[in-house]
Structure 1
């Protein structure tokens, strides 16, 4: 196999604190692989700005002016991590033989990128980056993450255990991924559905060098719930089973109290009545809410809205400096960068 064209796709949201370090490290590493002729000299690093409110895009634009190896893609608004990832991968597949996605904080060990590419050269279409252990996580995060993977497995969802979004995908697998036209995306569950030959590479996750995590507890719970409801109807079946169970239990209790009434041993009980009303009422609200969540997803899918909108694409430009010749509105966007021309 000839040296492949590789593109690293890095989604970014308010990453100005860590981005200069990330750019330097990734550029050095990719240039090293190019100099060894391990990958093609047409390989790139594509940073995707997911509607950041800080200086993230300006840093990407400056870097793209300085070096050919760094390119940028600016989304019109915050589309979410999964959609930003898709935007970068789909933009890169037009010129790359394979695409490697990773986070901007570089907690995922980039030294295994070499192993990713070796596996690709061996014929694997998808290579998953899998954590050996979760020692850097808090006890709560570690246990909840492990519980999530186990729960998804029991629901019949094929997930790669301890794998996030650090992976290599070939051009062919990306073309197939693009056929999944759903709005509610859960890439960790969708990618294994493609079915092409895949393997895993194991690594140890590092501490974040700067900035703050973009996945606090609230977002992690939302992400997990989205994954569950996007791939399985088991929660609805569980509610149905719970309802049937309580129905039969209530029949048994009713029969018991009828027997007591027949023998004249019943007493008027306010506590048991109120407790049962609250219990059944709570179950009904939970069931309605869960069904509403699924209906909401159907509603979102039916509208067929785009997953993301690209504002500025530096990846497909031969020279990012040509943007400086656009109208005054865009000149204002790049105000203060003229010294780099």
Structure 2
């Protein structure tokens, strides 16, 4: 007999979060129990290398609503969110990180706003980011301004991946054929009725951030190339600009030559070659980004692989036991 569908699913991507998990359980468990509704917590372990999976496995025994979904390898934050969206069963879904910078206490406000205002999306918007570094706040503002211009739709500023969505939104996201989706852009792009709840962003409860500068830059590149052809048009405009500069250099060189004032030298040649070469390389790089996305799409490789789901394998007490008895072709 299938399990009853819960009202709320809380999706939590995790990667090497053993330090913060005890605090996370201590705050999240009584909070969700106090809501007075049926719920599940879908903890997506994104191939952690520490004791994250072990702690989750042990907690599943004492917290029936906790569900462990473990990916076979580290696939990235957005891929872990995708896995959570596909596995969650609730009428509403809240996505939140395990570091507790986004306070779980706001979940009740998100749910109340969705019901009272009859909307499908409730964004958690950070009203105070003083806990973030100056560099992180600055790059975040630049990112959201750029995305608003490229996507052509209003993107909520300072809204990360802490949000509530209805089942309609979950089904719409899961139906999208694309891989490598960026949720903070995909969900506004869908255009469902939405509202926002503002909150103060806290310090990380424990451990260190796994969202490095390299990963933030990767998210920015994925956001741009997945949602806009503007970089390709930029390459075209740069090519035209390079052509105009080249024409101007040629005309100038002819005038100087005809006036008999040409001075043998290599500076102008080097500058012209450097400018044109830089523009060509930039254009090739931009084209390469899109060709790479087409290549990855043609391979049709899954964005993530689920190795274990405690809801589907309730008889197994450890993740290792689940792998030992699973189909080798699915490992």
Which residue number in structure 1 is paired with residue 129 of structure 2?
Answer: 134
- Structure 1 position 207, deviation (Å): 0.3
- Structure 1 position 133, deviation (Å): 3.0
- Provide the rounded CA distance (Å) in 2 between the counterparts of 1:331 and 1:296: 36
Which residue number in structure 1 is paired with residue 18 of structure 2?
Answer: 16
- Provide the rounded CA distance (Å) in 2 between the counterparts of 1:51 and 1:168: 25
- Structure 1 position 327, deviation (Å): 9.2
Which residue number in structure 2 is paired with residue 175 of structure 1?
Answer: 171
- Provide the rounded CA distance (Å) in 2 between the counterparts of 1:124 and 1:65: 35
1:70-102 CA-partner distances (Å, limit 9, x unpaired): 221111111211111111122113xx1101000
Q: Does the 8 Å contact 1:184/1:301 carry over to 2? A: no
Q: Does the 8 Å contact 2:24/2:100 carry over to 1? A: yes
1:118-155 CA-partner distances (Å, limit 9, x unpaired): 12212111111111132222111111111111112222
| TM alignment of 1:200-239, pairs within 5 A | 200-239=196-235
Which residue number in structure 2 is paired with residue 28 of structure 1?
Answer: 30
| TM alignment of 1:248-327, pairs within 5 A | 248-316=244-312, 320=314, 322-324=315-317
- Structure 1 position 252, deviation (Å): 2.1
- Structure 1 position 51, deviation (Å): 0.6
- Provide the rounded CA distance (Å) in 2 between the counterparts of 1:237 and 1:113: 42
Residue 40 (structure 2) pairs with residue 44 (structure 1) = yes
1:234-290 CA-partner distances (Å, limit 9, x unpaired): 112112101101211221232122122111111122112112212221221121111
Q: Are residues 331 and 226 of structure 1, via their aligned partners in 2, closer, same or farther at CA, if it must alter by over 3 Å?
A: closer
**How high is the TM-score relative to the length of structure 2?**
0.91
Which residue number in structure 1 is paired with residue 240 of structure 2?
Answer: 244
Which residue number in structure 2 is paired with residue 337 of structure 1?
Answer: none
Q: Are residues 329 and 119 of structure 1, via their aligned partners in 2, closer, same or farther at CA, if it must alter by over 3 Å?
A: closer
CA RMSD of aligned residues (A): 2.0
- Provide the rounded CA distance (Å) in 2 between the counterparts of 1:105 and 1:261: 68
**How high is the TM-score relative to the length of structure 1?**
0.88
Gaps of 5+ in 2: 1-5, 326-331
1:198-244 CA-partner distances (Å, limit 9, x unpaired): 11111110000111101111111111111111111111211210110
- Structure 1 position 69, deviation (Å): 2.3
Number of aligned positions between the proteins? 319
